[in-house]
Every structure is written in C-alpha cells, then in structure tokens.
Amino acid sequence: WQLRAELQAFGRQYFDVANTIDQPPVQLVNLRGAIDVGRWTVAGFVRNATDRRYLGYASPTFFTFAQLA
C-alpha cells in the first residue's frame, strides 16, 4: 500500500497588468492513497483536502470576473 501527502504552495498572484486584482499566498494539501490488488492498483486522490478557497482565475473587464477554485 502507499500513502502520500503533498503541500502545494503558491506565492502572491496578480491577475492584471495594473496589479489591482491579486491573491495572497495560498497553501493546499493534497492526499493520495493506493493499494495493490494482484496485477491492479486501486488509488484514491483528494485535492485541496482542507477545502481552501482561492481564485483560480480573474479577468479585469468592465465587470470584474473572478472564478473561485
């Protein structure tokens, strides 16, 4: 069997040229577990295990658009 924990860190991000839309640094925890069953491996993944909210995308238009990830 296998277990893995991963810390994924992102520094401050800016989403426009004028740096008016930004996001502070974000850390995400990802998990993976697997077990070998004969010739097969069964695996499960959990991305963002702590359910941290962050901006995945933002666009500075007339109406500022941001997508939470």
Looking at residues 1-29, what average pLDDT do you find?
92
Residue type, 32: R
Q: Tell me the C-alpha distance between 46 and 43, whole Å.
A: 10
Q: Tell me the C-alpha distance between 54 and 37, whole Å.
A: 37
- Written as six digits, the tokens of 1 are 């069997």
Does position 24 have pLDDT exceeding 80, yes or no?
yes
Q: What is the pLDDT of residues 28-43, one digit of tens each?
A: 999 999 999 999 999 9
Looking at residues 44-65, what average pLDDT do you find?
82
Tokens 């069964």, located at residue:
42
pLDDT of residue 4: 97
Confidence of residue 61 (pLDDT cuts 50, 70, 90): low
Does position 57 have pLDDT exceeding 80, yes or no?
no
